[in-house]
Amino acid sequence: DSGVTQTPKHLITATGQRVTLRCSPRSGDLSVYWYQQSLDQGLQFLIQYYNGEERAKGNILERFSAQQFPDLHSELNLSSLELGDSALYFCASSPQHGNTEAFFGQGTRLTVV
């Protein structure tokens, strides 16, 4: 157990819908990352928050948004879902920035039908 909790574990939804993925980082970790992993693909960086502020942005679609709350948990919102959004979404947390170990949650498997 990494200490990073992601909910839900699985999500099946229809095209055009909106979903929210939730991540609770390890206790004390200030940095939260979101990654997308499509079938047999690598880890695509979406966005990073540090202590409530957005710190880095990857190739995140405009239909996607995220935020980190005062209690440091984070949510990734995916809207106007398309079939191609089906993937495993990982959240990771670290104490500081990118120069320390990142601990991954178990991921949320999103299936868009």
Partner 1 sequence: GENVEQHPSTLSVQEGDSAVIKCTYSDSASNYFPWYKQELGKRPQLIIDIRSNVGEKKDQRIAVTLNKTAKHFSLHITETQPEDSAVYFCAAPSNFGNEKLTFGTGTRLTIIP
Residue from 50, 64, 108, 112 binding partner 1 (CB under 8 A): 50
Angle formed at CA 30 by CA 27 and CA 35, multiple of 5 degrees? 100
Nearer to partner 1, 84 or 98 (CB): 98
- Shortest separation between residue 82's beta carbon and partner 1, angstroms: 23
Which residues are CB-contacts of 12 (< 8 A; sequence separation ≥ 6)? 110, 111, 112, 113
Tokens of 11: 């999500």
Angle formed at CA 26 by CA 110 and CA 102, multiple of 5 degrees? 75
By CB under 8 A, how many residues form the interface with partner 1?
26
39 binds partner 1 (CB under 8 A): no
* Contact positions with partner 1 (CB under 8 A) in 64-103: 90, 92, 94, 97-103
Peptide bond into 8 cis (omega under 30): yes
- Shortest separation between residue 15's beta carbon and partner 1, angstroms: 25
The residue type at 41: Q
Nearer to partner 1, 25 or 107 (CB): 107
Nearer to partner 1, 16 or 98 (CB): 98
